[in-house]
């Protein structure tokens, strides 16, 4: 039986004031904060966990640019810088299927700290955004909760980089939530240790897997055809064998996916093998159930690897991501919602804030940017309806399902983030509303910051 109580009103301290407040520090929020600070305003980056980096660091998603091939056209900018800085700080390893580097989930915590410090951003970890502050339609700051209790932060502009459009929704902007049964699966990510790298790689070479192999059993993946015979660091056979031999319970026929990096030290990281359909990343009860279920499934996966994968006989769990990985929840119903045609047919926009190569990965589609094709990202996809002073960036920008399969990718979140950060900063400097900004000025600053927009 549902019951409600009325929470008494109370006075809370204003603990901080800033020009631009970015809430959430994944590739979208981190890029937004850096870009805004480099545009010359006071910036605060708020994050509920103890590290910046979002899915990269908190979940262990290390494949930042595994789409990259010889002909791939890149946006440059802060996404590119993430990889370069990670390489320079020994926090990246060459990626097996592409011309890119895997970010090191732990090392990237230090990369983010350093970038934030250099840009003069005010860092705020361990505080959770819980509610917006408003004057009419305008957001004026946020309420946070932490060990210090409930506190207020005032800001001239707010960027919602929570991944779930939490702030936009609470401000009353229209958002669209994918029905739970259609959401992309969540994953409990894990890293293992004790792998004999040489033997493992010999096994991979003896039986190389391709993207065509993704279409087995439960999954059917549409490609453009050119992907089919390309190498993929894919693992399915050990789990099929384990099912057959009764080592994995019969209902766990969804275990399988990709391995990330295998290190000389015997660690194998970014194990993307557990796929949890039906997990609602906006419902803590659902997330609780699937965190626990995901950990069980990960241990079944490791057991199967030990038995059936060369070099993995001595494998053991090293760590789980510190939180379940959520791919798909709520998106902004933005002033412009990107479409499947935009991402499949090289969408072009006058208000482009950056480009992203033709990389679609999700909802049963995999298209890799092995040609020079690319799309532009429109500023309006980050502009909410009915709310002022707020931009939404990262994976929650406006778009349909297949558009999201492209824009959710981390390097694309960084493109959107950089555009949002610059726009927010310029609107503070010009004392102008976010929807009346001269886009040419945003584009000029983007170019100054090394972003390709056309």
Ligand X SMILES: Cc1cc2nc3c(=O)[nH]c(=O)nc-3n(C[C@H](O)[C@H](O)[C@H](O)COP(=O)(O)OP(=O)(O)OC[C@H]3O[C@@H](n4cnc5c(N)ncnc54)[C@H](O)[C@@H]3O)c2cc1C
Q: Which helix (H) or strand (E) holds 312?
A: none
In this structure, the number of other CB atoms found within 10 A of the CB of residue 315 comes to 22
| Spatial contact of 130 and 166, defined as CB atoms under 8 Å apart | no
Q: Is 191 in the site for ligand X (CB under 6 A)?
A: no
CB of 45 to ligand X, least distance (A): 10
Name residues contacting ligand X, limited to 362-401 (CB under 6 A): 394-395
Instruction: State the virtual CA torsion across 73, 233, 324, 2 in degrees, nearest 10.
Output: 90
CB of 394 to ligand X, least distance (A): 2
CB of 162 to ligand X, least distance (A): 4
CB of 46 to ligand X, least distance (A): 5
Alpha-carbon gap, residue 287 to 274, rounded angstroms: 14
Q: Is 354 in the site for ligand X (CB under 6 A)?
A: no
**DSSP track, 274-293:** --BTT--TT-HHHHHHHHHH
| Spatial contact of 25 and 33, defined as CB atoms under 8 Å apart | yes
Among 21, 36, 37, 58, binds ligand X (CB under 6 A): 58
Q: Return the beta strands (E) in 178-274 as ranges.
A: 190-193, 234-235, 257-258, 261-262, 268-271
- Of the candidate spans 23-31, 88-96, 209-217, 285-293, the one that interacts with ligand X by CB under 6 A turns out to be 23-31
Which residue, 278 or 314, has its beta carbon nearer to ligand X?
278
CB of 131 to ligand X, least distance (A): 10
**Residue 153 corresponds to which tokens in the numbers above?**
């932060």
- Of the candidate spans 4-12, 45-53, 232-240, 379-387, the one that interacts with ligand X by CB under 6 A turns out to be 45-53
Among 21, 22, 23, 366, binds ligand X (CB under 6 A): 23
Q: Is 48 in the site for ligand X (CB under 6 A)?
A: yes
CB of 246 to ligand X, least distance (A): 28
- Of the candidate spans 59-67, 94-102, 195-203, 446-454, the one that interacts with ligand X by CB under 6 A turns out to be 59-67
Which residue, 41 or 159, has its beta carbon nearer to ligand X?
159
Identify the CA nearest to 416 among candidates 337, 367, 354, 344: 354
- Of the candidate spans 58-66, 175-183, 203-211, 380-388, the one that interacts with ligand X by CB under 6 A turns out to be 58-66
Give me the residues paired with residue 390 across strands. 158
Name residues contacting ligand X, limited to 410-449 (CB under 6 A): 410-411, 413
Burial 95-129 (b: 16+ CB within 10 A, else e): bbbbebbbbbbbbbbbbbeebbeeeebbbbeebeb
- In Å, how far are 375, 390, 425 from 19, measured between CA atoms? 31, 12, 8
Alpha-carbon gap, residue 234 to 257, rounded angstroms: 5
CB of 57 to ligand X, least distance (A): 8
Q: Is 49 in the site for ligand X (CB under 6 A)?
A: yes
| Spatial contact of 386 and 334, defined as CB atoms under 8 Å apart | no
Among 21, 37, 39, 63, binds ligand X (CB under 6 A): 63
Helix and strand numbers (H, E) in the chain are: 11, 21
Among 19, 21, 28, 191, binds ligand X (CB under 6 A): 28
- Of the candidate spans 52-60, 203-211, 289-297, 435-443, the one that interacts with ligand X by CB under 6 A turns out to be 52-60
Identify the CA nearest to 294 among candidates 425, 166, 436, 188: 188
Which residue, 63 or 399, has its beta carbon nearer to ligand X?
63
Among 21, 45, 153, 161, binds ligand X (CB under 6 A): 161
Which residue, 315 or 415, has its beta carbon nearer to ligand X?
415
Q: Is 404 in the site for ligand X (CB under 6 A)?
A: no
Among 26, 141, 256, 384, binds ligand X (CB under 6 A): 26
Q: Is 74 in the site for ligand X (CB under 6 A)?
A: no
| Spatial contact of 45 and 30, defined as CB atoms under 8 Å apart | yes
Q: Is 272 in the site for ligand X (CB under 6 A)?
A: yes
Name residues contacting ligand X, limited to 309-338 (CB under 6 A): 325-327
Alpha-carbon gap, residue 393 to 322, rounded angstroms: 23
Q: Is 304 in the site for ligand X (CB under 6 A)?
A: no
Which residue, 21 or 41, has its beta carbon nearer to ligand X?
21
Residues contacting residue 208 through CB under 8 Å, at least 6 positions apart: 231
User: For binding to ligand X (CB under 6 A), which residues are involved?
Assistant: 23-29, 46-49, 54-55, 58-59, 61, 63, 66, 128-129, 161-163, 166, 187, 189, 272, 325-327, 394-395, 408-411, 413
């Amino acid at each position: 039986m549902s019951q409600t109580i009325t929470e008494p009103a109370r006075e809370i301290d204003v603990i901080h004031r800033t020009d631009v407040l970015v809430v959430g520090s994944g590739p979208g929020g981190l890029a937004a904060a850096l870009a805004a600070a480099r545009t010359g305003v006071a910036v605060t980056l708020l994050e509920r966990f103890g590290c910046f980096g979002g899915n990269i660091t908190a979940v262990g998603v290390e494949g930042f640019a595994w789409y990259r091939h010889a002909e791939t056209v890149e946006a440059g900018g802060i996404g590119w810088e993430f990889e370069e800085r990670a390489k320079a700080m020994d926090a990246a390893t060459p990626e097996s299927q592409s011309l890119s580097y895997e970010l090191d989930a732990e090392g990237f915590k230090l990369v983010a700290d350093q970038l934030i410090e250099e840009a003069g951003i005010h860092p705020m970890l361990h505080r959770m955004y819980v509610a917006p502050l408003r004057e009419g339609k305008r957001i004026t700051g946020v309420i946070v909760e932490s060990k210090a209790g409930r506190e207020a932060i005032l800001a001239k502009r707010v960027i919602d980089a929570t991944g779930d459009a939490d702030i936009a929704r609470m401000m009353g902007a229209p958002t669209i939530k994918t029905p739970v049964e259609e959401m992309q699966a969540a994953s409990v990510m894990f890293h293992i240790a004790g792998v004999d790298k040489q033997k493992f790689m010999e096994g991979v070479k003896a039986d190389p897997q391709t993207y065509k192999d993704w279409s087995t059993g439960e999954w059917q993946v549409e490609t453009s055809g050119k992907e089919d015979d390309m190498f993929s660091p894919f693992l399915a056979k050990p789990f099929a064998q384990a099912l057959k031999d009764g080592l994995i319970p019969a209902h766990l026929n969804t275990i399988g996916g990709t391995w990330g990096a295998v290190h000389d030290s015997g660690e194998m990281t970014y194990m993307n093998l557990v796929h949890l359909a039906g997990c609602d990343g906006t419902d803590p009860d659902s997330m609780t159930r699937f965190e626990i279920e995901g950990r069980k499934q990960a241990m079944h996966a490791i057991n199967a690897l030990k038995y059936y994968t060369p070099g993995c006989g001595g494998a053991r769990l090293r760590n789980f991501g510190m939180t379940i990985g959520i791919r798909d929840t709520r998106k902004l119903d933005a002033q412009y919602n990107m479409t499947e045609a935009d991402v499949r047919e090289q969408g072009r926009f006058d208000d482009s804030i950056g480009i992203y190569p033709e990389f679609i990965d999700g909802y049963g589609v995999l298209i890799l940017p092995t040609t020079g094709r690319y799309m532009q990202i429109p500023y309006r996809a980050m502009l909410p309806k009915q709310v002022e002073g707020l931009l939404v960036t990262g994976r929650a920008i406006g778009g349909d399902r297949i558009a999201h399969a492209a824009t959710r990718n981390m390097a694309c979140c960084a493109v959107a983030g950089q555009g949002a950060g610059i726009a927010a900063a310029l609107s503070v400097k010009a004392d102008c509303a976010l929807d009346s900004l001269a886009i040419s000025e945003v584009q000029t600053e983007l170019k100054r910051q090394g972003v390709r927009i056309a």
